Structure 1
């Protein structure tokens, strides 16, 4: 943690604390030496004017009870994670398709660009030098997005025609929208499907003729949504049916060990330098495709059924090449 983030973290700890904060706790949370924490406290108090009070008997500090509520750091202070998120959001807004949605989001983008400007000199930062590249984004109908988002926020039901990619069958659905999910550069609606009496996820780009209807949406609890829609790997819903164990080569491990595949994943380094990743899944399709991109650098160890699915996929791929097709 650099000095900038230490000062910001120190300020936020003191703002949130009603009682004096021990210096030992501050040293642990800021991961710095005793001398460094004293220098940071002095800078926060003397250079930035923070109303710091000391408690020598407890070796602790706090913000003055009266002035502490009003005190804020001068200018704009963001952690690296917050800055990255703000920059990504700015780019996401900039990629919005032309139309009413882009126009509605324009004031938000202007506000973000204002926040990212240099508050001291008044000079705008070269935001154009930071870019977010979309991967696999599908064309989204703006009218559909507005209709879905409007029904979600007004808590009314939706009716639409839906053509599933898996079967290509066209069905009419009536749902109670629960939440919108932006996943891998595409939008999905998590909803209670009244025709199937169950939670489902729908890709917005597969919806047609979407319109809200005069019926109050049925609300499902957050815990139920997470258990059904976020418990397994990827976008596919449903409780986990098994845990996958995937072993990556020492070369691929340099990337995989730092990646977040799932909130409940378990990873460990093996003695030979390989990396073993375990995670829950419900539908195997997305997981198999993500493992497949590593080619010979990844091997599904278990369960046997998942390993067999991967083996069949690889055999079919080899068969396509052995068939002698192509130009």
Structure 2
């Protein structure tokens, strides 16, 4: 642990302590000798202005009132936090390539400057942190900026929408509620004023976006969660049924560690297979995820969902029988 990080450990320990902190404990936390620790304490007190008070020979503390207000100057991060920031840097670099690049450039620049400053001239091997996006769809940068602005400034939004499922173009006026990043793509959760209900829109299908002067209607968080997070998938809606899927013993090793839904129920069966139960509204996205396991997944209930899975598998098989 270098001096920079030792000072951060000492500061955080003193800030969190309700009673004087023993010197021995600080030596254990920083992994340094008593002489080194006293030099770090002197630097923290004399150079950085920390309100350190001695409690006899064996402990120190921050002054009760001044300690509450004191913070280290600038931004101090531990090694773990710096490494997490490095990973976040790579995530920002790859979230929505081409679309968010200009919007995130100032933030990325600050992160890079901070990394350079705290690395002491050392080059961080950023290429060793990989963030691989899958199925990212191209999106209009102006649409993203407009949508994000209306979400944060709580203004109504007007736009043209080309639905992917029907290829129908409609004109919408909505009150934005949430901006959601889901499976490497962006969605807008909003209250549609003409249809008088909550809807989710893929940002890559939004065009001619324009902010309106009217204030957005704010829906309660509980209502948003009930409608948007109560069932499986991004276009969920209130749950209509519970699905039961059984996975083979081989697939169970993966599925048991996966989080499909916040209210899912899972258990291992006596023969090693894994049973997963979860609520759903729209079966399309759920079946897409189940069928990616192929023969290692079987839909048990409800009967209508099981029949849908059977039909999709039969159609897939028929494509190979020509």
State the TM-score, normalizing by the size of structure 1. 0.76
1:131 deviates by: 1.7
Aligned to 1:158: 157
- Structure 1, unmatched stretches of 5+, are 1-7, 21-35, 55-61
Give the alignment's Cα RMSD to 1 decimal. 3.6
Aligned to 1:249: 248
Aligned to 1:280: 279
Partner secondary structure for residue 177 of structure 2:
strand
Output one character per residue of 1:8-57: Cα deviation in whole Å (capped at 9) or x when no partner.
Answer: 9999798567x56xxxxxxxxxxxxxxx9994498799587597999xxx
Partner secondary structure for residue 279 of structure 1:
strand
1:165 deviates by: 1.6
Structure index of larger Rg: 2
1:294 deviates by: 0.4
- Alpha carbons 2:243, 2:277 under 8 Å: kept: yes
Please say if 1:305 is aligned against 2:301: no
User: Which residues of 2 match residues 161-172 of structure 1 at below 5 A?
Assistant: 161-172=160-171
1:119 deviates by: 2.1
- Structure 2, unmatched stretches of 5+, are 1-7, 20-24, 45-51, 56-60
Query: 1:301/1:128 Cα in 2 relative to 1: closer, same or farther (>3 Å)?
Result: same
Query: 1:180/1:95 Cα in 2 relative to 1: closer, same or farther (>3 Å)?
Result: closer
Aligned to 1:77: 78
Instruction: Give, in whole Å, the separation in 1 of the partners of 2:83 and 2:298.
Output: 37
Aligned to 2:126: 127
Output one character per residue of 1:163-201: Cα deviation in whole Å (capped at 9) or x when no partner.
Answer: 212222111111011111011111100000001100100
State the TM-score, normalizing by the size of structure 2. 0.78
Query: 1:301/1:98 Cα in 2 relative to 1: closer, same or farther (>3 Å)?
Result: closer
Aligned to 2:193: 194
1:211 deviates by: 1.1
Query: 1:189/1:16 Cα in 2 relative to 1: closer, same or farther (>3 Å)?
Result: farther
Partner secondary structure for residue 258 of structure 1:
coil
Instruction: Give, in whole Å, the separation in 2 of the partners of 1:12 and 1:272.
Output: 50
Please say if 1:238 is aligned against 2:228: no
Instruction: Give, in whole Å, the separation in 1 of the partners of 2:15 and 2:317.
Output: 61
